Structure 1
Amino acid sequence: MEFKKGKIHDVLVRPLTKYLDERGWLAELYRSDEIAEEIMPVMAYISMTQPGVARGPHEHVDQTDYFCFIGPSNFKIYLWDNRKNSPTYGVKQVIFAGQDVPMMMTVPPGVVHAYKNVGIGNGIVFNAPNKLFAGENKKQPVDEIRHEDVASSPFVLD
């Protein structure tokens, strides 16, 4: 399958504002009055990705990811709409976010996603998905379909 460039239906992208003062800065990552109930986070984690390293591509069956890219470093985010019932099925979207462009992004189930640290320093990413990793008490299968080691995968990072 060949993907065409465009914006993907149901992917929410919103700039994050850094409020600066003499102490440093503060940024609101999410508010319950701004998030639909069905994607309300149930857990949160942060990850560090080294320069030049990518995470993904993978997708979820039921989980919506709630990513915040705020720095340090910058990321190139890759999205592919793999949902056959979506009006944007077959669309690939690339977004740059991080220290230079702080951004929040929701990625719904069936949208394949990956991100790569394109900066020169370690990068931090916050995620607050709407499903627990491996379910309640980590006793269920992980909701993840991994594509990074599939030789014929159409989900290729450039």
Structure 2
Amino acid sequence: MIRNVLTKTLIRHSDDRGFFMELLREDDEIFNGFGQASLSLSYPGVIKAFHYHAQQDDIWYFPSGQAQVVLHDLRPDSPTYKQTDVYYMGELSPYLLFIPRGVAHGYRVLGHLPATIVYFTNKAYDPADPDEFRLAYNDPDIGFNWQTRFR
């Protein structure tokens, strides 16, 4: 092995919705300087929503599939407090989405194929002290209708 070249075995966690795999963490020997990079695959029609963080910012990217991403501002001091925004992301509309702490976020997989999300955070997940707060996908305070409507 070439000196200073490191490898890291990745562990895939699978269930009936798809899989999750951490790629890079701030506490990994292989890299240091940011929080974490992760990869998740979700099957068509799956809704993963909502959650938010008190200290963590996210950057989302969907390299495959298509997703409807919903954000809801929970920050009382924000001029957009309680505003909900929708983004359509995926291989047909590729871009990064920065999600600041205090903004609830979630997504629904669109179409007939799975969607893959790669996301980066400024803090690594700590199972002993998780910075993750959950809300139901149909939380009445958010009031978002996840159904696709045809005109």
TM-score of the superposition, structure 2-length normalised? 0.69
Gaps of 5+ in 2: 1-32, 147-151
Identity of aligned residues (%): 27
Q: Which has the larger radius of gyration?
A: 2
Higher relative contact order at CA 8 Å, sep ≥6: structure 1 or structure 2? 1
Given that 1:59 and 1:111 are in contact with CA atoms closer than 8 Å, whether structure 2 keeps it comes out as yes
Q: Tell me, yes or no, if structure 1 residue 94 matches structure 2 residue 86.
A: yes
Query: What aligned pairs does 1:21-40 form with structure 2 within 5 A after superposition?
Result: none
Amino acid at match of 1:147: L
Gaps of 5+ in 1: 1-39
- Aligned twin of 2:74: 82
Distance 1:155 1:41, change over 3 A: farther
Q: Tell me, yes or no, if structure 1 residue 109 matches structure 2 residue 101.
A: yes
**CA deviation after TM superposition for structure 1 residue 99, in Å:** 1.2
Post-superposition Cα deviations, 1:71-109, rounded to whole Å, max 9, x if no partner, equal 1x1000000111001111121100001011011011111
Q: How many residues align?
A: 114
Q: CA RMSD in A?
A: 1.8
User: Which structure shows the bigger proportion of residues in strand conformation?
Assistant: 2
**CA deviation after TM superposition for structure 1 residue 69, in Å:** 1.5
- Aligned twin of 2:116: 124
Tell me, what secondary structure is at the counterpart of 2:88? strand
1:150 and 1:120 map into 2 onto residues whose CA distance is: 23
Post-superposition Cα deviations, 1:49-71, rounded to whole Å, max 9, x if no partner, equal 10000111111111001111221
Tell me, what secondary structure is at the counterpart of 2:36? coil
1:47 and 1:141 map into 2 onto residues whose CA distance is: 22
Given that 1:57 and 1:112 are in contact with CA atoms closer than 8 Å, whether structure 2 keeps it comes out as yes
Q: Tell me, yes or no, if structure 1 residue 69 matches structure 2 residue 62.
A: yes
Tell me, what secondary structure is at the counterpart of 2:72? strand
TM-score of the superposition, structure 1-length normalised? 0.66
Amino acid at match of 2:136: E
Question: After the TM superposition, which parts of structure 1 deviate over 6 Å for at least 4 consecutive aligned residues?
Answer: none
